[in-house]
Copies of this chain bind each other. A is one copy, B any other.
Amino acid sequence: MPNKEIPYKIYLEESEMPKAWYNVRADMKNKPAPLLNPGTGQPMTAEELGGVFCDELVKQELDNDNAYIEIPEEIRNFYKMYRPSPLVRAYCLEEKLQTPAKIYYKFEGNNTSGSHKLNSAIAQAYYAKKQGLKGVTTETGAGQWGTALSMACSYLGLDCKVFMVKVSYEQKPFRREVMRTYGASVTPSPSMDTEVGRKILEEFPGTNGSLGCAISEAVEVAVKSEGYRYVLGSVLNQVLLHQSVIGLETMAALKKYDIKPDMIIGCAGGGSNLGGLISPFMGEKLRGEADYRIIAVEPASCPSFTRGKYAYDFCDTGKVCPLAKMYTLGSGFIPAPNHAGGLRYHGMSSILSQLYDDGLMEARSVKQTDVFAAAEEFARVEGILPAPESSHAIRAAIDEALKCKETGEEKTIVFGLTGTGYFDMYAYEAFHDGKMTNYIPSDEEIAASLAKLPQV
């Protein structure tokens, strides 16, 4: 039975919540490569970025030096609506697995957006508001980011235009309705509303869309509309900065009970959750104060870390964005529509890409059906029905706990449970009915996509 000394859920006091975000770039010896202007091949300047992003966010995007950036009080107050999030000791899962491992998860799903995305949405909306803008545009895949941004914009009275990847728009009509509850407009992407959308539809009629397409459309609308800027829920340095609140709270909760993790596991799409969760731990590792195994888990259908290339690439399909150096499958790569979760992005955060390239973290890919098996096992004992995205981390955490069972090692595993799967029941249904399949891109498919990387 559970060790009574450590509660099932560790909650920080509101007074213990972080007052500043942690910027891991400050402690990186090899800084992440800068964004490049695709026309000149030169690093993007603050002025150039300012046409797309809010000024304060551009500053954060380019800041490789300041380790801590204060969280404005208004954002901290918003955080208090759903934070601190609990760090949960998975006593029931441990018992089910009969493992000597100690498993903890940081649960970010206790808010209506259903995920950690709200942490950066409120920050980005706040700076847009502060700059006196009318509204923001964005893309969303599975829908969590769009929902989160809608909530933040509604709270601050900003207009919110969301381009939603077509396959998700159709598979998740309820997500659209949640966004409407918060007053956002939602357009399936690719759409006929933008130049880039029309071009993509012409080239690939019947496409299911991709995050890369939706980004191009949202950026186009932002750049062409007076008083609008574009905001993005993942990949960018600023997003990882905001998401560091996850890792900071996790670290504070662990330290409160003198728990030292052996490994930190997170799912990885564009890197927002993983980057946020690991940042302060990576900081200790970079400063030589502690060592941790850090494991990124990605879908086998969209394996940018494990099968991609570390190179400069476009962030979007329409090639309207700057170039970023990252592990990428090529900006033309579109994951199979049978892939249920988010984590559909062709690239990866530049920060995480650099850390991975420097050997500071590991990565692995997992198959969709194995992910849902882990999700169901977890749901039945821990009581939370997890998002498919989060379940990639569950899969890896269970696998590591089972290894401990074999070896008898009492390792401490921390993973990020980014959200809930309440809007993913079609995927669960397919899994229950044995109709879920696994798509793994061929080497040829990936090579063909990578052959189109830009020359820098």
Judge whether A112 and B155 touch: CB under 8 Å: no
Q: A423 at the A/B interface (Cβ < 8 Å)? A: yes
**Whole-angstrom CA separation of A301 from B379 in the bound complex:** 36
Task: For the complex formed, measure the closest distance between the CB of A78 and the CB atoms of chain B, giving whole angstroms.
Answer: 8
Of the residues B112, B173, B384, B432, contact of A420 by C-beta under 8 Å = B112
Segment of A6-14, A225-233, A340-348 in the binding face? A6-14
Judge whether A182 and B112 touch: CB under 8 Å: no
Judge whether A155 and B381 touch: CB under 8 Å: yes
Judge whether B380 and A155 touch: CB under 8 Å: yes
Q: List B contacts of A183 (CB < 8 A).
A: 380
Judge whether A8 and B2 touch: CB under 8 Å: no
**Whole-angstrom CA separation of A114 from B110 in the bound complex:** 11
Q: Which residue of B lies closest to A12 (CB)?
A: B11
Q: A174 at the A/B interface (Cβ < 8 Å)? A: yes
Knowing A7-B80, A383-B155 touch, does A181 contact B376 (C-beta < 8 A)?
yes
**Whole-angstrom CA separation of A385 from B14 in the bound complex:** 23
Q: Within A351-398, which residues are at the interface with B (CB < 8 Å)?
A: 376, 379-385
Knowing A420-B112, A422-B422 touch, does A8 contact B80 (C-beta < 8 A)?
yes
Q: List B contacts of A385 (CB < 8 A).
A: 112, 178, 181
Give this chain's copy count. 2
Q: Which residue of B lies closest to A175 (CB)?
A: B425
Q: A30 at the A/B interface (Cβ < 8 Å)? A: no
Judge whether A177 and B379 touch: CB under 8 Å: no
Q: A130 at the A/B interface (Cβ < 8 Å)? A: no
Q: Within A290-338, which residues are at the interface with B (CB < 8 Å)?
A: none
Judge whether A178 and B8 touch: CB under 8 Å: no
Q: A199 at the A/B interface (Cβ < 8 Å)? A: no
Q: A75 at the A/B interface (Cβ < 8 Å)? A: no
Judge whether B14 and A177 touch: CB under 8 Å: no
Judge whether B182 and A2 touch: CB under 8 Å: no
Q: Which residue of B lies closest to A90 (CB)?
A: B81
Judge whether B77 and A178 touch: CB under 8 Å: no
Of the residues B177, B376, B380, B429, contact of A429 by C-beta under 8 Å = B177
Of the residues B2, B112, B155, contact of A384 by C-beta under 8 Å = B112
Q: List B contacts of A428 (CB < 8 A).
A: 177-178, 180-181
Judge whether A81 and B383 touch: CB under 8 Å: yes
Of the residues B8, B11, B111, B420, contact of A11 by C-beta under 8 Å = B11
Q: A154 at the A/B interface (Cβ < 8 Å)? A: yes
Judge whether B111 and A384 touch: CB under 8 Å: yes
Of the residues B1, B112, B382, B423, contact of A379 by C-beta under 8 Å = B112
Of the residues B9, B92, B383, contact of A112 by C-beta under 8 Å = B383
Q: List B contacts of A257 (CB < 8 A).
A: none
Q: A82 at the A/B interface (Cβ < 8 Å)? A: yes
**Whole-angstrom CA separation of A289 from B151 in the bound complex:** 43
Knowing A112-B385, A429-B177 touch, does A8 contact B379 (C-beta < 8 A)?
no
Q: List B contacts of A376 (CB < 8 A).
A: 181
Q: Within A1-56, which residues are at the interface with B (CB < 8 Å)?
A: 1-2, 7-9, 11, 13-14
**Whole-angstrom CA separation of A232 from B9 in the bound complex:** 29
Task: For the complex formed, measure the closest distance between the CB of A384 and the CB atoms of chain B, giving whole angstroms.
Answer: 6
Task: For the complex formed, measure the closest distance between the CB of A313 and the CB atoms of chain B, giving whole angstroms.
Answer: 36
* A–B pairs, 18, beta carbons within 8 Å: A2-B77, A7-B80, A9-B14, A81-B382, A81-B383, A92-B155, A111-B383, A112-B379, A112-B383, A155-B380, A155-B383, A174-B425, A177-B429, A177-B432, A178-B385, A181-B376, A181-B379, A181-B432
Binding site for B on A (CB under 8 A): 1-2, 7-9, 11, 13-14, 77, 80-82, 91-92, 110-112, 114, 118, 151, 154-155, 173-174, 177-178, 180-183, 376, 379-385, 420, 422-423, 425, 428-429, 432
> Which A-B residue pairs are the 9 nearest by beta carbons?
A174-B425, A8-B80, A177-B425, A422-B422, A112-B385, A7-B14, A81-B383, A154-B380, A177-B429
